[in-house]
Amino acid sequence: MEAGQETEEGLRQALELAANAQENILLSVLAIVVVWAIRWLVLRLANQRIDEPRVRYQWGKGSGYVAFVLILVLLSQIWVEALRDMGTFLGLLTAGLAIALRDLVSNMAGWAFILFRHPFRVGDRVQVGENAGDVVDIRLFQFSLLEIGNWVAADQSTGRIIHVPNARVFSHPLANYTAEFPFVWHEIPVLITFESDWKRAREILLDLVTRETADVVENAQSAVKAASRKLYIHYGTLTPTVYTSADASGVLLTMRFISPARRRRGLHQAIWEGILEAFSAEDGIDLAYPTQRVYTNLLEGKPGARADLPDLSDLGSGPAEPGAMGGSGGMSGSGSDQRSGEAGGRTQK
């Protein structure tokens, strides 16, 4: 009798738990459907009134985060009693899942880091490890980049979307091109021949790069002041300059200037076009390129650096036969003298 009563009591409790679980499941599904339906209506109204893509994207991401948090709160309220009875089991289950799904957990931690610390935002241009591009989306487990570089020269878009796990912000260096200080330093080397007027060339280059970057320098100075409130960024000067050095093939003039992160290639092109036009009008300046030439010190060297002429007075000294003496005399002369001497020798014979 006692065994039968215990079995009956166990079945009754199991049925009660099953009934409660079914009710909780139905309430959970209803809560999720209601919250996402409200989000869908809000987004539909927002998309009808907002045309700017960036604002529409922010509405979509923000409403998604709010809906996710609201669903978690509702589900915790629905399942709080059941979870209280299953606390030990869920604790062990959570520990096991954390070990088995450590990559997913790391990605979630990376998402939280990105969300609250803001190493980058949507629209920033960043490089994480070997991947660089513009951030176009941030999600729970990964963020997406519109790739730049790779097989495309300079910082131009390739058109590919790269999905990067959020955990990489912990394990790889992260460079942000545009956050806080949206400018980068750029250099253009110009190689001219040793015979060119390098002082005139340097003057032309400095005038050209100063003219092309005048507005950029003003904007960069304002950006430095704003960025210095959060970061220790300090530059003695932001004006462009030209450095001079010697290279194996000529005189190397290197222009250094500041450029907006997204205008680097455009400025590079404009400056090079100005260089080609300016140098084409100068008779004393030639661009250098890999060539081979014969340098004769006796003819081209400076007067004080030319080698001494060899002493040829002792070439004919020493015993020799008459025929050999005649031949030696021909060797020391020009090609025509050699032929005349040989002809004379044949006549004597």
Instruction: Return the structure tokens found at 300.
Output: 């081209």
3-state secondary structure of 218: helix
- Note the pLDDT of residue 336: 40
- Note the pLDDT of residue 280: 93
User: In angstroms, rounded to a whole number, what is the distance separating the alpha carbons of residues 228 and 23?
Assistant: 57
Q: Which contiguous run of DSSP H or E holds residue 181?
A: none
User: In angstroms, rounded to a whole number, what is the distance separating the alpha carbons of residues 275 and 258?
Assistant: 18
Residue type, 324: A
- Note the pLDDT of residue 325: 44
- Note the pLDDT of residue 345: 39
- Note the pLDDT of residue 239: 92
> CB-based contacts of 108: which residues, under 8 Å, 6+ apart?
140, 141, 166
Annotation: CATH topology of 183-280 = Alpha-Beta Plaits (3.30.70)
Q: Where in the chain are the domains?
A: 12-100, 119-176, 183-280
* Tens digits of pLDDT across the chain (349 residues): 555 555 555 545 555 555 666 777 788 888 888 888 888 888 888 877 777 777 777 777 777 878 888 888 887 777 776 666 555 556 666 767 667 778 888 999 999 999 888 999 999 999 998 999 999 999 989 999 999 988 887 788 999 999 999 999 999 999 999 988 899 999 999 999 999 999 999 999 999 999 999 999 989 988 888 888 888 888 878 999 999 999 888 999 999 999 999 999 999 999 999 999 999 999 999 999 877 777 787 777 777 777 777 666 665 555 555 554 444 444 434 344 443 333 333 433 3
To the nearest 10 degrees (0 to 180), the angle between helices 322-332 and 335-348 is 160
- Note the pLDDT of residue 43: 81
CATH of domain 119-176: 2.30.30.60
Question: Pseudo-torsion of CA 319, 324, 328, 329, nearest 10°?
Answer: 100
